[in-house]
Structure 1
Amino acid sequence: MQILVVGSGAREHALCWKLSRDPGVRRVVCAPGNDGIGGHFSTIPVDAADPEAVLTLAEQHRIDLTVIGPEAPLAGGIADLFSARGRPIFGPRRRAAQLETSKAFAKDFLQRHRVPTARYRVCGDAESAVRAIRSGEFGDSLVVKADGLAGGKGVVVADTRAEAEAAIQVLMVDRAFGDAGSRIVLEERLYGPEVSFFVIADGEHAVPLVAAQDHKRIFDDDHGPNTGGMGAFAPSPLVDDAMRDRILGEVVRPVLYGLIIEGSPYRGVLYCGLMLTADGPQVIEFN
């Protein structure tokens, strides 16, 4: 089997390494890759966000399976295109991928399917967002999220309403992350430890992987703005067998079933960012 891994980061390097160790795999190619990956595997220049270009590459190199790492190709519909052309691909189609690519879509979806998550409001302009903050609907401390993809930096955990309003200025007025801030999600702030829970899904069934703890704040002692990640470790001691089963029952299975009945089965890795609150696990986001 020949496998194409799409992406250019450490995640893709790890995927190449692991996939290459399977006895049924004779070649792993990464596109576009990076210098580190290129020291061990073949790399091919390509615009990963251009589904047609990636499809052409897969056809030219007689790729048996394409594995997508980053979110941008999924948002661009690469899985839809490959599936339409009958080429095997590992990664969700565009609508299912909206769980990650649109915070507003994810929150509305969770509400429709009664999956535990924080109270929220979606705002399409800065004025309505500021009014919602000043109303005190979410208290003095709340969370402000850019709707679209922002490299893990579009979430602000505001300790005061003034900080939340400043985040609206940055996201919606200054457009620090471009169109990702055209809409924002305001959420009540949840309290408890965070865990990252992963499953491999085939559309209906889910196989859980090792849970992790991902630390996003830029400074020590969980201070400062969020980043794309300052470090992580696994397995998480917070997810024992009982908690794993609870997350599968209360979060993962309802999400997969909801996508089935909405006509968008999820195939790929589903990464559930969770807060373990006093009331149980609640979804913060999907990655």
Structure 2
Amino acid sequence: MVPRSRPRNGRASSCSTTTSFVRPRRARRSIPSGSTSIGRITGTTTSSTACARLRCSTATPTGARMTHGSSSSLCEEKTERGGRVATATGARKATARWRSSTGAMQVRSSRRSRWQCSNEPSMKVLVVGSGAREHALVWKCVQSDLVERVYCAPGNGGTGGMARNIGIGAADVVRLVDFAKRERLGLIILGPEAAVDAGVGDALRHAGFDVFGPNRDAGRIESSKSFAKGLMRRAQIPTADFDVFTRPAPAKEWARARDGQVAVKADGLARGKGVIVCESVEASDRAIDAVLVEQRFGRSGATIVVEERLEGPELSVHAVTDGTDVIALAPARDYKRAGEGDRGANTGGMGAYSPPKGVGEALVQEVVERVMQPAVRELQSAGAEFRGVLYAGLILTKQGVRTLEFNARFGDPEAQVVLPRLQSDFVALALASAKGGLADHPDLRWNNQACVGVVVASGNYPDDAAMTLGHRMRGLAEMPPGVLIFHAGTRFEPGNGLVTDGGRVVTSVALADTVAAARAAALSGARQVRFEGAFFRSDIAEEADEG
């Protein structure tokens, strides 16, 4: 059960994993309960033509296969390369789901969601971004009965298997607005922080579009660590003691007063790698010099935040908000270090699982009341209404919950383990946030199963200078049953098929009745992904197996 908050009327209610909130005036489309059969996602093609016939699995140009699991709203269409691509279409749209007893596919006629947006025509949706997070978002969007077609800009080698990839960068404001106008998009979902920081949301809203993702001012809660820490202080959100510096000497003095037990953070965006955790005065001196003197993070590190180091397990909580109401999503825990046992350099994230060990509804409700609500209120009072998903990175100390950071979008890899557990229509939820209608949105429905995601990365990640890309990928057509593959750093290369194109290449994801079973399945999928230099952490979610 995941809490929600409605500060307008002072009521807080809880959503149920077994029942669905129903508005008295209308019956709501029933959603199948969680299934143990999940589809594999390994698409590569990017072209789109006419919708063909429905099938259970899809052959792609690289020989991979795509199989659809429960509650999928996908159909195939032929491509210029002779393969097939799964997409949601208005011409012949249907919902495919697995009959749990036989594994056979059932096809039923499409019915639009009758919650609030029942009068909305089938819409075109654009997901902005190119990571595994965006692949997971595309996957959820094509399941929606509200959707006619899904685009992804720029997308990757996997999103092209179920959406139409558009060659526009995530921060290319002018071209994204032009595309939205030309295609008459019904909803735009901002994936990466770069899109938020570039002002994509501002421009699209100014042009009259519904956007799931904040404007640039509200997005400063992520793009500026000093802004976020100042907001936490003003809103009395529990966090570590800190100070902000632009010169090395006073920063080092502040760190020495705490025996070097600090975290040094670049103020600006650094792709999740801008934090250096220190254990001694020598380490803190090196870290401060690396950011301020050596300019390891460029202009993003011209200002730094130095804060006291906190100890305890970390926790990720996402909340969807329309600037007033807040609905929490299922909690997760991610693993940021590159090496086993949380050793090595900080990364964008090497894996995650949901729900985390020892995290219950009461704790999530506390986060909503003490962290999420105050942050949303403080932004609103400053004239920076936040519409989209707000992510709080937290740590569970002996003194209680403390906030490490905010992100103005879904976490990656957290999105890959939270979204598969969501049974409600994600597009309806995102549209309610974009339109300011969360107060009337039904409580969310969740799969009770655990979900684990393991990132398979390129050799030497996260060292961009040492990584080599363009390696041919194998094994994607041979995934074990029940494994989802969300693509990130992949692209289709004529003659070679899928090749690596980034540090984090894919996330292997699995749902199961226990964390241990989901972990075993996700690891089996990660082992199957083969390319030169591939590596992954085998200890993701291992803590849940310990007594």
Category of TM-score, reference length = shorter chain = over 0.9
Letter in 2 for 1:173: V
1:255 correspondence with 2:375:
yes
1:40 Cα deviation after fit: 2.3
- Structure 2 partner of 1:191: 311
| Deviation per residue, 1:248-282 (Å, 9 max, x gap) | 11111111111111111111111100011122211
- Equivalents in 1 of 2:362, 2:290: separation in Å? 41
Equivalent in the alignment of 1:41: 163
Separation (CA, whole Å) in 1 of partners of 2:337 and 2:169? 31
Partner letter of residue 67 of structure 1? I
Distance 1:117 1:139 in 2: 19
Residue identity in the other structure for 1:199: A
Cα deviation, 1:26-63, whole Å, max 9, x if unaligned, reads 10000111122112221110122121211111111111
2:358 pairs with 1:233: no
> Which amino acid is the alignment partner of residue 245 of structure 2?
C
Asked if the contact 1:139–1:188 (Cα under 8 Å) also holds between the matched residues in 2, the reply is no
Matched, 1:166 2:286: yes
Give the whole-Å Cα distance in 2 for the aligned partners of 1:133 and 1:278: 22
Report what 2:299 is aligned to: 179
In the alignment, residue 105 of structure 1 is paired with which amino acid?
A: F
Aligned length: 285
TM-score (norm 2): 0.51
Q: Is the 8 A contact 1:129 1:168 kept in 2?
A: yes
* Partner deviation per Cα, 1:82-112 (whole Å, 9 max, x = no partner): 1222111110111111111111100011001
Cα pair 1:29 1:44 within 8 Å, conserved: yes
**AA at the equivalent of 2:313:** P
How far did residue 131 of structure 1 move?
Answer: 3.0
Q: Which residue is 2:207 aligned to?
A: 85
Amino acid at match of 1:111: R
Q: Tell me whether 1:282 sits opposite 2:402 in the alignment.
A: yes
Between 25-34 and 78-87, the greater mean CA deviation after superposition: 78-87
2:180 maps to 58
User: 2:227 — aligned with what?
Assistant: 105
- Once the two structures are superposed, the pairs formed by residues 65-84 of structure 1 within 5 Å of their partners are 65-84=187-206
Shift of 1:132: 2.4
Deviations along 1:156-203, one digit per CA (max 9) or x if unpaired, are 110111111111122112212211110000000111110000111111
Does the CA-based 8 Å contact 1:144-1:185 persist in structure 2?
yes
Cα distance per residue 1:181-239 (max 9 Å; x no partner): 10000000111110000111111111111100011112222222211111111111332
2:317·2:392 contact (CA, 8 Å) conserved in 1?
Answer: yes
Question: Which one of the candidate residues 328, 342, 346 is aligned to 1:208?
Answer: 328
Distance 2:160 2:341 in 1: 37
8 Å CA contact retained: 1:5, 1:68? yes
Aligned residue for 2:330, secondary structure, equals: coil
Tell me by how many angstroms 1:245 deviates: 1.3
1:115 deviates by: 0.6
- From 378, 382, 387, the equivalent of 1:267 is 387
1:15 aligns with 2:162: no
Cα distance in 2 between the residues matched to 1:35 and 1:217: 26
| Number of the residue aligned with 2:274 | 154
CA distance in 2, matches of 1:242, 1:78: 36
Name the aligned partner's letter for residue 141 of structure 1.
Q
Aligned residues of 1:32 and 1:47 also touching (Cα < 8 A): yes
Q: Which runs of 5+ in 1 are unaligned?
A: none
CA distance in 2, matches of 1:93, 1:236: 31
Offset of residue 133 of structure 1: 2.4
CA contact (8 A) 1:140 1:159 kept: yes
Provide Cα deviations, 1:7-38, integer angstroms capped at 9, x if missing partner: 01111111111111001101000011112211
Write the letter of the residue equivalent to 1:203.
G
Letter in 2 for 1:285: E
More strand by share: 1
How many angstroms apart in 2 are the aligned matches of 1:172 and 1:95?
25
Distance 1:37 1:221 in 2: 32
> In the aligned structure 1, how far is the partner of 2:243 from the partner of 2:403?
15
2:204 corresponds to which letter in structure 1? F
Q: Which has the higher helix share?
A: 1
State the AA in 2 paired with 1:257. R
Q: State whether residues 142 and 161 of structure 1, in contact with CA within 8 Å, keep that contact through their aligned partners in structure 2.
A: no
Q: For the residues of structure 2 that align with 1:259 and 1:20, how far apart are their CA atoms? A: 32
Q: Deviations over 1:112-167 (max 9, x none)?
A: 11110000010012233223223x1x333111000011111110110111111111
How far apart in 1 are the matches of 2:352 and 2:368? Answer: 22
CA distance in 2, matches of 1:238, 1:67: 32
C-alpha distance in 2, partners of 1:194/1:260?
A: 27
Please say which of residues 120-129 and 5-14 is displaced more in the overlay: 120-129
Task: Indicate the SS of the match to 2:348.
Answer: strand
Distance in 2 separating the partners of 1:133 and 1:280: 23
In the alignment, is the contact (CA less than 8 A) between 1:67 and 1:89 conserved in 2?
Answer: yes
2:528 equivalent in structure 1 = none
Could you say which structure has the larger radius of gyration?
A: 2
Tell me the percent identity.
Answer: 43
